Amino acid sequence: MPSAPLPELPFRIETTADGSQTFFSEDFGQLFHSHFGARQEAEAKFVRITRLAERAATRSQLTILDICYGLGYNTAAALTAIWQANPDCRVRWHGLESDLRVTRAAIDAGLMEPWPQAVQQAIGELAETQQVNGEQFQAVLHVGDARRTIAAVLASGVRADAIFLDPFAPPDCPQLWSVDFLGRLARCLAEDGYLATYSCAAAVRAALVAAGLAIGSTPPVGRNTHGTAARWCEAGLTPLDRRAREHLLTRAAVPYRDPSGTDTAAAIVQRRHREQQASPLEPTTRWKKRWRGIRE
């Protein structure tokens, strides 16, 4: 299927390998989802990893925090899985998104049509009013810079059973991968909750560990890289292999820092580069050379 332009918007529709569609961001030069499968990524890297269906089967209520809500696929997949497992399970939801045009364009382009009707209705209302107060779904979409809107989530006392961490790649959006932001995000995670992200970057994993979380590896989608799961204890996590553990001992693990919560992406990247140059950790190039061609 050829790409379809969206007038006056900095993204276009692309079809991924599993037949589901996503947007390509002209601003970031990236797809919003894996080209191996947009829907598959939402289900495999976020919903299954956070065990929402399994927990919905035995619980009457679940709380979700969706960082970089975007097209809404992660939340749509989560609601579908939860209500298939337990139609009576109530979902309390908070989402952070900087560009509401993405959310509304996904609906206008018909990208929500493959999901169940109840999910389409909830996502549509959320895009229209940024708030839903239904019996089964109570939600608030916080629009703006996530570094600021996370304050409202913290103030509300949210303790999420699942956190979806889904910004653009760390080098392009370091603001939302910094040790400072992830530290605040960890405070929103329930004692038995799961945080899931597609990223396996050492800087991201190191920042999650610095926040006090245990980390584990998650399976790749297609031939894509492994992701990361994090929680307050190691139970339920797949341990990192030796290669990944050694990666955390290299300069790649120097985290992004944004102490003021207001720095530009360029300033954050430059600060990290300076720290890497001064770091006593092993150069990442040496680690890559050691592991080149090795598979565990």
Read off the pLDDT of residues 66-115 as tens digits, 9 standing for 90 and up. Answer: 999 988 999 999 999 999 999 999 999 999 999 898 889 888 888 888 89
Give the contacts of 264 (CB within 8 A, at least 6 positions apart). none
Asked if residue 158 is part of any domain, the answer here is yes
The C-alpha atoms of residue 158 and residue 289 are separated, in whole angstroms, by 44
Q: Provide the angle, in degrees to the nearest 10, between the axes of the packed helices 146-155 and 179-186.
A: 20
Q: Tell me what pLDDT residue 200 has.
A: 96
pLDDT of residue 21: 67
Q: Please, what's the largest Cα pairwise distance for the chain? A: 56
The pTM of this model reads 0.91
| pLDDT per position as a tens digit, 234-243 | 999 999 999 9
In a domain, 157, yes or no: yes
Whether residue 116 lies inside any domain: the answer is yes
Region for residue 110 given its phi and psi (left: phi exceeds 0; alpha: psi -120 to 50; beta: otherwise): left
Task: Tell me the CATH number at 168.
Answer: 3.40.50.150
Residue 1: pLDDT band with limits 50, 70, 90: very low
**pLDDT band at 36; cut points 50, 70, 90:** low
Asked whether 44 and 27 are in contact (CB, 8 A), the reply is no
Q: Note whether residue 54 is domain-resident.
A: yes
Does residue 167 sit within a domain? yes
47 part of a folded domain:
yes
* 148: phi then psi, degrees, rounded to nearest 5: -100, -40
Burial degree of 77 (CB within 10 A; 0-12, 13-18, 19+):
buried
pLDDT for residue 7 is more than 60:
no
Residue 176 belongs to a domain: yes
Domain that holds residue 76: 4-239
Q: Please check whether residue 278 lies inside any domain of the structure.
A: no
Give the Cα separation of 210 and 75 in Å (integer). Answer: 27
Using an 8 Å Cβ cutoff, are 201 and 249 in contact? no
Closest CA to 22 of 43, 37, 7, 44: 37
Total count of domains within the chain: 1
